[in-house]
């Protein structure tokens, strides 16, 4: 009975707040020493008309503060918990009960099962558990009657691709095809999007000799890359369309992409400045409503990284992605309207 009541409340929260959402949210990373309180963070989102939040793991005090806020939430099942969830349906059921159903007034939207896991990077030991964990979480979501409101996925970065240029030649890395293929097919089967951490900043700083910064900042005056019928004036859309091309080649042309992270740091590295970050993020907000050359007119749900500076991270530039300092002061003007 309690589960039935909680599920009903959760469904009501989703339906009440769906119309208030916009396509832009922010990630709220919490690796900092002096972060605002949960109630202050929720107030900061509301005051700035930020309708979506990405959390990297469940935080009970923040979940409590989010109740009734209307903010749509992507919550992460952290990498360190994936093996446990993959090993047991009961564990998956308990995770949903403890972290989502316990907060029926929160507008849960996505569960990101793992972040940037693939067989050929530093999280390679977890790759075998990602799909089983996704399957168990999806079964739990379905069991509790939430599958129409909460979508289950995983967050990848551009490293899952073997080729990104030109965008039409985008292709998933065949050397990890046994990992990628079944997950993509699972997304097709359950009607979930692919979550993509997409950073033109890193693409630019890794190849400054070949990429003009205007292409990375959405300020190119004209087409920079002509790829058949598609002309690209910015790197973000080119990167995104390379993943769409890879999905097409994988038989998953109907899988949408949600950009689960993107942004530009203000200090500590190559081309880091308040001006560049402000230019990137404001232009991003404008462009995502327009779609990409490959998917024109299809608005791109996007989460800017990061809401608040995280001073416990390293190297230095990792501390400076926030739109706000840790005392809640906006570092530069961003228009979320």
| List of E strands, the chain | 24-28, 52-55, 72-77, 107-115, 151-157, 161-163, 171-172, 194-197, 225-227, 230-232, 257-262, 302-304
- Using alpha carbons only, what angle is made at residue 107 by residues 129 and 19, rounded to the nearest 5 degrees? 125
Whether residue 54 contacts residue 26, with contact meaning beta carbons closer than 8 Å, is answered with yes
Determine which one of 135, 261, 310, 318 is catalytic: 261
Residue 57, pLDDT > 70, answer: yes
Burial of 194 (0-12, 13-18, 19+ CB in 10 A): buried
CA 208, 209, 213, 219 torsion-angle sign: negative
- Give pLDDT tens digits for 266-301: 999 999 999 999 999 999 999 999 999 999 999 999
Q: Which of 199, 204, 197 is nearest to 258 (CA)?
A: 197
Torsion angle in degrees (nearest 10) through CA of 182, 188, 189, 195: 80
Question: Cα(319)–Cα(306) distance, rounded to whole angstroms?
Answer: 10
Residue 174, pLDDT > 50, answer: yes
Report the pLDDT averaged over residues 62-82: 98
- Residue 250: per-residue pLDDT: 97
Helices (H) and strands (E) in the chain, counts: 11, 12
116 is catalytic: yes
23: pLDDT confidence band, cut at 50, 70 and 90?
A: confident
Tokens standing for residue 109: 């939207």
Q: Find where tokens 């009975």 sit.
A: 1
213-244 as b/e: b if 16+ CB within 10 A: bebbbbebeeebbebeebebbbbbbbbbbbbb
Percent of the chain whose pLDDT exceeds 70: 93
Higher pLDDT, 15 or 212: 212
pTM attached to this predicted model = 0.92
Whether residue 37 contacts residue 59, with contact meaning beta carbons closer than 8 Å, is answered with no
Whether residue 56 contacts residue 30, with contact meaning beta carbons closer than 8 Å, is answered with yes
Whether residue 321 contacts residue 270, with contact meaning beta carbons closer than 8 Å, is answered with no
- Residue 164: per-residue pLDDT: 96
């Amino acid at each position: 009975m309690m589960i039935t009541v909680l599920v009903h409340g959760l469904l009501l929260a989703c339906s009440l707040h769906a119309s208030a959402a916009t396509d832009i949210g922010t990630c709220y990373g919490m690796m900092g020493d002096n972060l605002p309180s949960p109630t202050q963070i929720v107030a900061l989102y509301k005051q700035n008309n930020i309708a979506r939040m990405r959390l990297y793991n469940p935080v009970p005090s923040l979940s409590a503060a989010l109740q009734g806020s209307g903010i749509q939430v992507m919550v992460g099942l952290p990498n360190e918990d994936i093996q446990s969830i993959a090993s047991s349906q009961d564990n998956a059921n308990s995770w949903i009960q403890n972290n989502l159903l316990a907060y029926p007034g929160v507008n849960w939207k996505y569960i990101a099962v793992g972040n940037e896991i693939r067989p050929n990077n530093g999280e390679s030991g977890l790759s075998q558990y990602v799909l089983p964990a996704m399957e168990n979480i999806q079964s739990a979501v379905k069991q509790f009657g939430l599958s129409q409101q909460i979508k289950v996925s995983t967050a990848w970065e551009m490293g899952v691709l073997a080729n990104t240029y030109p965008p039409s030649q985008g292709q998933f890395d065949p050397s990890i095809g046994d990992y990628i293929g079944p997950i993509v097919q699972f997304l097709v089967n359950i009607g979930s999007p692919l979550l993509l951490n997409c950073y033109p900043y890193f693409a630019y700083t890794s190849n400054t000799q070949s990429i003009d910064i205007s292409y990375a900042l959405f300020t190119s005056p004209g087409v920079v890359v002509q790829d058949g019928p598609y002309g690209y004036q910015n790197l973000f859309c080119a990167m995104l369309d390379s993943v769409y091309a890879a999905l097409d080649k994988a038989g998953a042309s109907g899988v949408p992409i949600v950009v689960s992270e993107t942004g530009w740091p203000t200090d500590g590295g190559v081309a880091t400045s308040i001006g560049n970050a402000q230019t990137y993020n404001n232009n991003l907000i404008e462009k995502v409503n327009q779609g990409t050359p490959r998917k024109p007119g299809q608005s791109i749900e996007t989460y800017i990284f990061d809401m608040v500076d995280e001073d416990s991270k390293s190297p230095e530039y990792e501390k400076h992605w926030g739109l706000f300092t840790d005392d809640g002061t906006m570092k530069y003007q961003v228009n979320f309207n």
